[in-house]
């Protein structure tokens, strides 16, 4: 019985995680599977109760689980805390590091029934199906940082550091993924300016010799950003460093109609973490307006990657497609028309379709 740790977190995380649990329970009923759920505190909610955004008890449960499903963390309420106690810096980044989650996999797929929700013309975006592989434990977010006074003026320093081994590790994963898909890999860097990017490009080029069946191209991050809007269907798998990946995945998510549709998996260590790509959206928290589909699709990734339940994962994805085809929409998708439903109603509909098959 797989042990799944639920970390609802802050804001809408409290509303969307239960809907993914409904989907997993529906999978259990249809396929005769059993899951053991446990819940713990993380983020601002954990700080309010325990004085730290990542309590030791939560970290221990993470390490003892088979997989983790995270909702969202952070919000204006905790932005004035010292940096090391803010939810993102005090919980999410340390958790990735401690669990050795060096790779973030984010599929960006435009479901056919959401073409009208994309800001791009249908003929440009139709058929978009790409994956961004983002290095998750290196780069600017984890490099040495400091603030100091120089010549009477304050300055801040963030250091971008990558070792060749870190690049090989994420690159090999991306090549293997591309080999299973359409055999095209786009490596994104800023090699015309950054020394770390020049190392990145050299390592990726050398690694590419081991994968002669995969087409490797290199793009500067600014060009890649433009190309995602100009012709997103040209991409299959994109691999890039931490900061660039953070930005590009949010851009790609908008093309799918809503950031509420983007699932993600953070892998590398013994325990993987699954979460929607969006934030805690405190402006709509508690109003049942949040789109739970990214969290439900993250649960599908969990079934696929952590538990090798491939048929079950497809059943969840098929249920999401069916619900969208029937015209059901949460408020973030209503600009393209449809039948508006609440967060919980959307979860109920997906669970119902999973069980019906």
User: Which sequence positions are flagged as catalytic?
Assistant: 141, 190, 222, 246, 250
DSSP 314: H
Structure tokens at 133: 């592989």
CA distances from 163 to 133, 197, 198, 211 (A): 17, 11, 12, 21
Q: Are 296 and 277 in contact (CB under 8 A)?
A: no
Q: What is the largest CA-CA distance in the chain?
A: 70
Per-residue b/e over 232-241, b at no fewer than 16 CB within 10 Å?
beebbbbbbb
List for the chain the helix, strand, coil content (%; round to 5). 50, 20, 30
- Which residues are CB-contacts of 52 (< 8 A; sequence separation ≥ 6)? 46, 85, 90
Q: Are 332 and 36 in contact (CB under 8 A)?
A: no
Structure tokens at 253: 């998510």
């Amino acid at each position: 019985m797989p042990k799944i740790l639920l970390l609802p977190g802050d804001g809408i995380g409290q509303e969307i995680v239960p809907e993914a649990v409904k989907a997993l329970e529906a999978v259990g009923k249809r396929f005769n599977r059993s899951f053991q759920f446990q819940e713990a505190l993380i983020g601002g909610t954990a700080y309010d109760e325990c004085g730290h955004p990542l309590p030791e008890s939560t970290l221990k449960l993470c390490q003892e689980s088979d997989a983790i499903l995270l909702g969202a963390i952070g919000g204006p309420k905790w932005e004035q805390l010292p940096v090391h106690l803010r939810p993102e810096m005090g919980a999410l980044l340390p958790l990735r590091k401690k669990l050795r989650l060096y790779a973030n996999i984010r599929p960006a797929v435009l479901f056919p029934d959401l073409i009208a929700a994309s800001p791009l013309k249908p003929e440009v975006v139709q058929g978009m199906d790409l994956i961004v592989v983002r290095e998750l434990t290196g780069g600017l977010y984890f490099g040495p940082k400091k603030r100091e006074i120089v010549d009477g003026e304050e300055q801040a320093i963030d250091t971008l550091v990558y070792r060749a081994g870190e690049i090989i590790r994420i690159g090999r994963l991306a090549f293997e993924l591309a080999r299973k898909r359409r055999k095209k890999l786009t490596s994104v860097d800023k090699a015309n300016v950054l020394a770390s990017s020049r190392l990145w490009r050299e390592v990726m080029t050398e690694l590419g010799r081991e994968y002669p069946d995969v087409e490797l191209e290199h793009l500067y991050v600014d060009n890649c950003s433009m190309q995602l809007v100009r012709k997103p269907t040209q991409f299959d798998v994109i691999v890039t460093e931490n900061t660039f990946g953070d930005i590009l995945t949010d851009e790609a998510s908008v093309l799918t109609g809503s950031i509420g549709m983007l699932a993600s998996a953070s892998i590398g260590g013994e325990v993987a973490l699954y979460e929607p790509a969006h934030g805690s959206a405190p402006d709509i928290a508690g109003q049942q307006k949040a789109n739970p589909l990214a969290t439900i699709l993250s649960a599908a990734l969990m079934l696929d990657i952590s538990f090798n339940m491939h048929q079950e994962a497809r059943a969840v994805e098929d249920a999401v497609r069916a619900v969208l085809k029937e015209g059901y929409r949460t408020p973030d998708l209503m600009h393209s028309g449809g039948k508006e439903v609440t967060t919980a109603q959307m979860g109920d509909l997906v669970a119902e379709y999973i069980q019906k098959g």
